[in-house]
Structure 1
Amino acid sequence: MANIVVTHFSGLLVNGKYRTSVFYEGFINSLLENGNNVLHVITSNYLLRPWNGSNTTISPEIGQLVLEEIINFNPDLVISFNNSSIEGIEDAVDCPIALWEADTFQFFNDKDYVKRNADRYHFLAFASDAIEVYKRELGISDNRVRRVPAATGVKSTKEEKRYNISFIGNTFSASPTVFKYLAQHPSVRDLDTSVFSDAQVSQYCETLKTLSGLDGHAILFRKSGQDRLSICHRLFEHGLHLFGPDDWYRLGMLGDDILDAYDPRVVYSLHHNQLIYNRSKVSLNINHAQASTGFAWRVIDILASDSALLTTPSSDLKALCGDKVSLQVFNSVAEADDLAGKLLKDNSLREDVIAQQNELVEMNFRWKHRFPIISEFTGVELNAGPEKGTYKEVLVEPTANVVSQAVQEIYRGITAVHKAGRIVNTKRGLQARGEVSIGARHRFLIFILQVYAALRAFLRRIRVVSRTVNFCKSAVHFIWPNLVVLVRNARMKSTENSAKEYE
């Protein structure tokens, strides 16, 4: 029975809590079912920039608390998606650390640190082209990276068919400032980047960011949103239903079809996704432009359900399926329209496709098929046995001790400020008393007393300043992380989806 730490970013904020998406939930459930204990870290709770950012925590104390949880768990393996993890974990544990590309390497946290310390990690790749990216970016050899294709925890069940076609996903729509920049710079808009390598894409995006001040990836990958929208528009006439974040409402200006098709209920869990796919005759996948050979995780979820997959092309998917499944692949909006019509009209065709899909998943797309690859690569056995493992999610907050210390520092600081006023008055009083009591005949003594009083006041002020500086440092140490948390929570609240969950 192995102890596995799983860390990942989440953008799914529901009712004040970051949630785990269907992919991670299925992966973790399979680890548990195969006899492993899992400690789960959703890094969005602790990092300021948990995606394509840094593993620096919102405060040193928070980072230490999370690391203590990990150390006490005594892990045999850490699996970190996109290297969204906790700073210092590399030194805190002596077990293997596997970095797995949830997106691509260019969206990892702390990429420079990973490059400098590549020998500390094992690298896992979903897509075939990701292996070459790792080798090129990190200078690692073949024995430091393994390809582990996606798998799923979704199961096929017979449900009442409520939707002709369903799509669960984002709009990937760029902001108006991106399109304004493209309108002003048609040479950027017309450039064919499909022939670029990942390294060239990264350099190009950096150049765009320098020139425009905008996110280079948003400019480069804008067509993902445009393609997604054009395909969905064509499929509305076939009864397409949309699920995902409420960004879809922003596209309502393009027509009421989107408003009618979009279901605002919250969808994130394995249960939600499984229900929607099993209630759909056809389920749609539209890959993002960054997936040059790979495919979205939803593809395997759909293959495992009681719904026919309708998808954009992927060389990896074609290679994995071979001739075992009659994949319904479209290369244009017109082809998507044609295939959707055929699948909806021909029940026999649709049922045959679904049966082929389900058989393939049970043969090759469950996590039990992937664990031997990871075990052989890392030396940690993941198919441990029939006894189910234990699960814990890391949830830590600042301790009362730290609050108490900060309050004491604040009190001492206020006292020091009060003393500063008394010191000034004392000095003035001393000078006044000296002049009165000693008189003009002893001006030299008066001068000595004045110097003494000034020096004494100066030294006291130095101590007060030092005390005040220490107070300010302590106050900043306490207040800053909490202010960051408050700002983060306010930002989270503004983007939180408080709609009813799908059922």
Structure 2
Amino acid sequence: MADSTNQSTVVAFIHTYRPDGRLDSYMSELVDAFVRCGIRLHLVITNHIVPNLDSTALKKHISEQRLIEYINDVDPEFIFTTNRGGITKGIMEKTHAPILTWMVDHTPFFHHGGGPEDLFCEKDHCIISSLRHVKVFESTYPVLKGRVHYLPFATKVEDFKTSRNVVQDVDISFVGTYFHSGILENLYNYYADSPETIQGLLRLAGKIQSDPDTDILPLIEAYGIRKVLEDFNYNHIYLKWLFVNYISLNQRIKVLDAVSDLGLRLYGTDNWLHVGAYSLNLLGCFQFQKKIDTRQKLVELYQRSRIGLNISHHQAGGGLPYRIFDLLASNALLVTNARKDSDLFHLFGEDVQVPMYKNEQDLRKIVIYYLENEKERRELVQYCNRLVDRGFSFEDRVRSFFEIAGCRLKETGHGQLVKVDPDSFIRGLVRYLYRCGGNKPYSSQEKAAPAGGDRIKKIYHRYATGKQRLFIARQVVPLIPNGIIDMLRKQ
């Protein structure tokens, strides 16, 4: 049955990189904006239905058919997803609503089990937050021709307006990820006895460093490294993503190290501890055990900071990440990397006065100047605040989603957030066996099941789609009628 309310409805698949499984502060604000716009949002955390974000299929015990039925019962205005997470071939083929993918990163997930050639379909719209990547994305995914849209990221200006009068006791701050490099290092170790493969990978890295938008497919053939894709079952987009993260980490370390003695406080993922192998000064700036894991903490840090740094991801090009808009709205002076194609010029004009550094030495000069000239710093901060005073709210973005999807937004007051329990999508046989084991289907928030049900759960989470499930079912619960097993095993 379709959602019977008079509200607009959306089913959203949103992913997270947080180890505790919660949404980050940006995505939490986006979810809240859907609700503030009067929308009934059915939220599926993508991580709950896939083994991991790099997977190419749903978890074995998750029924794609149940997922499709849920979407069709809700009958949403559109399906919303971040980075293409959670979208399967069945969802593309058997649901009717438009699908809006917001590429908050530049590399999509491949949870549909295929490759780039069938990742999108005719009812898709894709949102890119980097202007120059609109054409790049259309070229990579021709089925999206004319349906790739540019929307910059957003901020919540009100958060900063209500906390202006704070002591600014942090000279420089940066909040960001220490990009994982272990997979590439493992590749190099794996091919240690094949110097030609190592050289091919290094040549490819050099090309990507020079131009992150380069088409690497012909280079993979030219450099003789096709076997890397075959040996590890990678597609070329994933291999490129590994390199751009590696290059981004290299750039990030160099830039931050240049100001590590000027009062920098560094926050981010726990693996910043590894930076000590490259710079002890930078390791000393890392704020151990001080997590910026809520919107409130992020706002407090930026309000206390005199300078807030941005170091864009290598593949972002001229695109502007989340932190740009938060820093523009804050007490901190944004200092960002200079690019001729920066979206700052597109959004705010060619004469935009945001300080931009060309290299590490230039950054150091800019930082020292504004730390020593407080009046000029404050004047620039006020100028930056005005830049994002209108048109950059999360509600603005949600309304744009409806326009892109060709749907009318029914703003009928406050909406509703429906947190979808992933256990709703458990395969029928597994659900039946839970009950037979003395354990009803339970939500992930409930306490551990009794021993019998727990044992069954573990077995069927592993074998729910395998050939052995019927054999194991009859061993574990021998009294299940054959007719019921035959019916449930198809679900």
TM-score range (shorter-chain normalised) is 0.7 to 0.9
The answer to whether structure 1 residue 389 and structure 2 residue 422 are counterparts is no
Q: Is the deviation greater in 99-108 or in 292-301?
A: 99-108
Which residue of structure 2 aligns with residue 222 of structure 1? 246
Select 1:237's aligned residue among 253, 261, 280.
Answer: 261
| Amino acid aligned to 2:168 | K
For 2:264 and 2:318, the matched residues in 1 are separated by: 26
Residue 402 (1) aligns with residue 419 (2): no
Match of 1:320 in 2: 347
Mapping of residues 116-195 of structure 1, within 5 Å: 118-140=121-143, 142-153=145-156, 155-156=159-160, 157-158=163-164, 159-172=166-179, 174-175=181-182, 176-177=185-186, 185=198, 188-189=201-202, 191-194=206-209
Residue identity opposite 2:320 in structure 1: F
Scaled by the length of structure 1, the TM-score of the pair is: 0.72
Q: Residue 200 of structure 1 corresponds to which residue in structure 2? A: 215
Shift of 1:373: 3.5
1:276 matches 2:311: no
Does the C-alpha gap of structure 1 residues 117 and 225 become closer, same or farther in structure 2, counting only changes over 3 Å?
closer
Which residue number corresponds to residue 18 of structure 2?
Answer: 12
What SS is found at the alignment partner of 1:6?
strand
Residue 4 of structure 1: SS of its match in structure 2?
A: strand
Structure 2: segments with no counterpart, 5+ residues: 1-6, 233-238, 440-451, 453-467, 478-491
Hey, what's the Cα distance between the residues in 2 that align with 1:351 and 1:474? 73
Stretch moving more, 295-304 or 256-265: 256-265
What SS class does the counterpart of residue 146 from structure 2 fall into?
helix
3-state secondary structure, aligned to 2:132: helix
**Judging changes above 3 Å, is the alpha-carbon distance between structure 1 residues 404 and 115 closer, same or farther for their aligned structure 2 residues?**
same
* Whole-angstrom CA distance in 2 between matches of 1:312 and 1:179: 30
CA distance change for structure 1 residues 106 and 65 in 2, over 3 Å: closer, same or farther?
closer
Shift of 1:229: 0.8
Task: Classify the secondary structure of the residue corresponding to 2:173.
Answer: strand
Give a deviation string over 1:128-148, Cα, whole Å, max 9, x none.
Answer: 233213321222365322212
Q: Does the residue aligned with 2:178 lie in a helix, a strand or coil? A: coil
SS in 2 for 1:238: coil
Q: Which residue of 1 aligns with 2:86?
A: 85
Which secondary structure does the structure 1 equivalent of 2:126 belong to?
strand
Does the residue aligned with 1:128 lie in a helix, a strand or coil? coil
The alignment partner of 1:472 has SS state of helix
Structure 1, unaligned runs of 5 or more = 412-467, 478-503
Aligned length: 414
Q: Residue type matched to 1:379 in 2?
A: G
SS for the counterpart of 1:260 is helix
Indicate conservation of the 8 Å contact 1:285/1:309, yes or no. yes
Does the 8 A contact of 2:87 with 2:111 survive in 1? no
**8 Å CA contact 1:303, 1:361 repeated in 2:** yes
In structure 2, what is the Cα distance between the partners aligned to 1:266 and 1:289? 25
Cα distance in 2 for partners of 1:211, 1:330 equals 37
Contact 1:178 1:218 in 2 (8 A): no
Percent identity, aligned pairs only, is 20
1:35 aligns with 2:38: yes
In the alignment, residue 242 of structure 2 is paired with which amino acid? A
Which residue of structure 1 lines up, in the alignment, with residue 380 of structure 2?
353
Structure whose alpha-carbon radius of gyration is higher: 1
**Corresponding residue for 1:427?**
none
Cα distance in 2 between the residues matched to 1:474 and 1:285 = 59
Name the structure with the higher helix share.
1
Query: Tell me, what secondary structure is at the counterpart of 1:385?
Result: coil
- Letter aligned with residue 345 of structure 2: K
Which residue does 2:443 correspond to in 1? none
Contact kept? 1:312, 1:330, Cα under 8 Å: yes
- The root-mean-square deviation of aligned C-alpha atoms, in Å, is 3.4
- Do residues 373 (structure 1) and 400 (structure 2) align? yes
Out of 2, 8, 16, the residue aligned to residue 8 of structure 2 is: 2
Bigger Cα displacement from structure 2, 137-146 vs 200-209: 200-209
One-letter amino acid of the structure 1 residue matched with residue 56 of structure 2: S
In the alignment, residue 29 of structure 2 is paired with which amino acid?
G
Deviations 1:339-381 (A, max 9, x none): 1112222112221222122111112322343344333221123
Counterpart in the other structure of 1:294: 319
Letter in 2 for 1:6: A
- Separation of aligned partners in 1, 2:386 and 2:125: 32
Q: Structure 2: how far apart are the matches of 1:38 and 1:205?
A: 43
1:308, 1:350 within 8 Å by CA — same for their partners in 2?
A: yes
User: CA, structure 1 residues 229+356, in 2 after alignment: closer, same or farther (shift >3 Å)?
Assistant: same
For the Cα contact (< 8 Å) 2:103–2:129, is it kept in 1?
yes
Cα 1:249/1:353, change in 2 over 3 Å: same
User: Would the alpha carbon gap of residues 117 and 170 (structure 1) be closer, same or farther in structure 2, given more than 3 Å must change?
Assistant: closer
